[in-house]
Structure 1
Amino acid sequence: MITIIVIGLVFSILLSGCGKKEEKTLSIGEQFGLAYAPLEIMKSKGFLEAALQERNLDIAVQWKKLGNTSAIRESMLSGDLDIGFTAIPPFLIGRDKGMDWRIIAGISKTSVSLVTKDPDLSSISDLKDNHRIMLPQPGSIQHILLMMAAEKATGKASAFDGQLLSMAHPDGVTAFISGNEDLLHFTTPPYLQEELENGGRVLLDGRESFGGDFTFIVGICQDRVFKDTKVYESFKEALVKTMEYIESDKDGTLRILSEAYEYETGELESYLGDGTTTFGTGVEGIDTFVEFMERNGLISSSLKGMELFWEQDAK
């Protein structure tokens, strides 16, 4: 009798397991800073979930916070990430190395600045061997902007490559504020403003280094996502609605971002109100990055023949 009961229980469990439907998810990877603010709005307002439901797609949206583009690349390769957000240079490096990802759209432009507390520094030409520069990783947009400035100042783009420290922005802020004067941080809002309020000053401005304006963050995905037309179009629709919301409801935007970033709305209003951080789906500056990175051996010449956008009219 006991044997029959045990067999019955096992059979019941197996049937129950077979009846369970595995939930399909759409996984989205973001990084740190106000440049990713549109994603916090999309998340809070549920625009993506609504767009998926309109197309009768029973898909859960999963948001992941990752420290740098290397983490995004590895997650995409393993299939754990469907759509990621990164700056243009690391996207180009990944594309050049064979990643089948391309750009969906841009989401932001922002200030990118090298901050110091050392009173003896008036330009990057004054940097000594003991100075260390924190940034997300080699090949990041901060690294490329530093190389652009180094080439102009010293004639050698890689002049400061031996002084880099890879660190996510939140950790970099903590290290900068509590650390010695030989520690510099190449960062973005709101971490930039926090450091300026704690004894820091801008040593190098990213726009000056680049020689003009450029898109900071772009959304990317692989071929498998682009070919899943309903999912891809759902995301594009949600992104447009997000940008429309940011433009039409300033107070609502500030409330959402205040909760997401844990800053007072007044602080965020001042950070966003200076005009240095803007949001939109256009992509600007990619040709300049390609030319510089190819010339300095960071990408190959064959990249110029590759398609970089899923939709060529998105440029």
Structure 2
Amino acid sequence: MQSPFSLTTHQQPKRIARWPARLAAVASAIALLLGTPAHAEGQLRIAYQYDVGDILLHVVRDQKLIEKYAAQEGVQANVEWKQLSGGAAINDAILSNTLDVASTGLPPLLTVWDRTRGKQNIKAIAALGSLPTYLLSRNPAVKTLDDFGRGDRIALPATTISLHARLLQIAAANRYGRDKFNHFDELTVSLPHSEAAAALLSGKTEVNAHFASPPFQFQELKDPAIHKITSSYEILGGPATLNILWAPERWQKENPKTFTALRRALAEALTYVQGHKAEAAATYVRLENSKLPVAFVQEIISLPDVQYTLQPQNTYKLASFLADVGAIKQRPASWKDYFFEDAHAGGGS
């Protein structure tokens, strides 16, 4: 009698053929249980911004620098680039594991750093440059912050929580006292920079002010009816980081070679932008399919106030303010708390 455990000749190949798939499934399950990655290193989903504050990332993407340095680490990189609007959407994508690395303004990073400390431990990889943001108005009666009144409407990316909203709150706190930090909040409206610029330039909507970012603020200032009230540099007392690149600690630990490749790619992009302004401007215009003249973008990124650097500048002032007003629960001891250790050696603030 045939043993119930024996295989007939026609059964054997079919059943044996199932073993590789079963072993792969078991290996994946064990990997998850042990907390090790179930996928090969080199997979990177990265979100970046539309503005020239992310021009380093435009160069990294165009020249495939992550792939270049990953190959030197013995890794074949597969980089997926995405453009998402708004810090909240990006935070959700990171936390739901549909995104690995993102560029945003500082407040979204500090918010998610605060909420994930001791869990996902989200931190910054590098700053992407210090660029000023301008508060503009087309109301001739408004010459200083004190002149804004109930009839004014200030457009910014997101009321209360965006970088521009927080800068306006810091300006109010500096001017009227910490308990009046939300003095201007009732005057603000949420609009993407492109729509806010169009509204301000038209002069036909309720929006008569815009806390803008480059390149939009420079387009708006070409209209003689529009003038600058203040800037992020004035509010924070010096050059200040505009955009910042960050990721969960899990991705950094599971992909150490890709992380190193990303840092090296940023360093090469920085050298390239600093030495090839015209070419960098052309790269930005091409990748964004922008209607801006390349010479105009080059003019912006060549301004003395525009400082491309991987080291953070004046970020801790904003972090301290958010802790003061209860926007984050944990006060960082310094900027190093919300940056990965790899960024510490170059200094920052």
TM-score (norm 2): 0.79
After TM superposition, the structure 1 = structure 2 runs for residues 186-225 of structure 1, keeping only pairs within 5 Å, are 186-198=211-223, 199-225=225-251
Letter in 1 for 2:275: S
| Percent identity of equivalent pairs | 22
Out of 73, 83, 87, which is 1:55 matched to? Answer: 73
Rounded Cα–Cα distance in structure 1 between residues aligned with 2:68 and 2:201:
42
Structure 1 position 175 matched with structure 2 position 186 = no
**Structure 2: gaps spanning 5 or more residues:** 1-13, 22-38
After TM superposition, the structure 1 = structure 2 runs for residues 220-231 of structure 1, keeping only pairs within 5 Å, are 220-227=246-253, 228-231=255-258
Please provide the CA RMSD for this pair.
2.5
Cα–Cα, structure 1 residues 61 and 103, in superposed 2: closer, same or farther, change >3 Å? same
**Cα deviation, residue 260, structure 1:** 3.1
Letter in 1 for 2:90: I
Cα–Cα, structure 1 residues 302 and 252, in superposed 2: closer, same or farther, change >3 Å? closer
Whether contact under 8 Å (1:118, 1:181) holds in the other structure is no
Out of 114, 118, 121, which is 2:135 matched to? Answer: 114
Q: Deviations over 1:21-79 (max 9, x none)?
A: x9974111112311111111111111112122333323321111111111110110111
TM-score (norm 1): 0.87
Whether contact under 8 Å (1:226, 1:310) holds in the other structure is no
Whether contact under 8 Å (1:67, 1:136) holds in the other structure is no
Rounded Cα–Cα distance in structure 2 between residues aligned with 1:170 and 1:60:
31
Structure 1 position 131 matched with structure 2 position 157 = no
Rounded Cα–Cα distance in structure 2 between residues aligned with 1:161 and 1:250:
37
Match of 1:148 in 2: 170
Cα–Cα, structure 1 residues 256 and 182, in superposed 2: closer, same or farther, change >3 Å? closer
**Cα deviation, residue 176, structure 1:** 2.1
Whether contact under 8 Å (2:51, 2:214) holds in the other structure is yes
Match of 1:260 in 2: 287
Q: Please, which moves more after superposition, 251-260 or 221-230?
A: 251-260
**Cα deviation, residue 301, structure 1:** 4.2
Q: Please, which moves more after superposition, 229-238 or 192-201?
A: 192-201
Match of 2:34 in 1: none
Whether contact under 8 Å (1:114, 1:184) holds in the other structure is yes
Structure 1 position 82 matched with structure 2 position 114 = no
Structure 1 position 166 matched with structure 2 position 190 = yes
Rounded Cα–Cα distance in structure 2 between residues aligned with 1:296 and 1:56:
47
Rounded Cα–Cα distance in structure 2 between residues aligned with 1:257 and 1:301:
37
Match of 1:64 in 2: 82
Structure 1 position 26 matched with structure 2 position 44 = yes
Provide the secondary structure at the position in 2 that maps to 1:121: coil
Out of 114, 126, 143, which is 1:105 matched to? Answer: 126
Rounded Cα–Cα distance in structure 1 between residues aligned with 2:235 and 2:156:
16
Out of 242, 253, 265, which is 1:238 matched to? Answer: 265
Cα–Cα, structure 1 residues 272 and 59, in superposed 2: closer, same or farther, change >3 Å? closer
Q: Please, which moves more after superposition, 243-252 or 193-202?
A: 243-252
Rounded Cα–Cα distance in structure 1 between residues aligned with 2:91 and 2:236:
25
**Cα deviation, residue 168, structure 1:** 1.9
Whether contact under 8 Å (1:107, 1:281) holds in the other structure is yes
Provide the secondary structure at the position in 2 that maps to 1:109: coil
Letter in 2 for 1:144: R
Match of 1:282 in 2: 311
Rounded Cα–Cα distance in structure 1 between residues aligned with 2:188 and 2:314:
24
Whether contact under 8 Å (1:130, 1:182) holds in the other structure is no
Match of 1:294 in 2: 323
Provide the secondary structure at the position in 2 that maps to 1:279: coil
Q: Please, which moves more after superposition, 291-300 or 213-222?
A: 291-300
Rounded Cα–Cα distance in structure 2 between residues aligned with 1:194 and 1:49:
35
Cα–Cα, structure 1 residues 301 and 101, in superposed 2: closer, same or farther, change >3 Å? closer
Provide the secondary structure at the position in 2 that maps to 1:212: coil
Rounded Cα–Cα distance in structure 2 between residues aligned with 1:182 and 1:264:
26
Q: Please, which moves more after superposition, 220-229 or 194-203?
A: 194-203
Rounded Cα–Cα distance in structure 2 between residues aligned with 1:245 and 1:187:
26
Out of 295, 299, 321, which is 1:270 matched to? Answer: 299
Letter in 2 for 1:255: A
Q: Please, which moves more after superposition, 256-265 or 102-111?
A: 256-265
Provide the secondary structure at the position in 2 that maps to 1:64: strand
Rounded Cα–Cα distance in structure 2 between residues aligned with 1:247 and 1:162:
40
Cα–Cα, structure 1 residues 105 and 314, in superposed 2: closer, same or farther, change >3 Å? farther
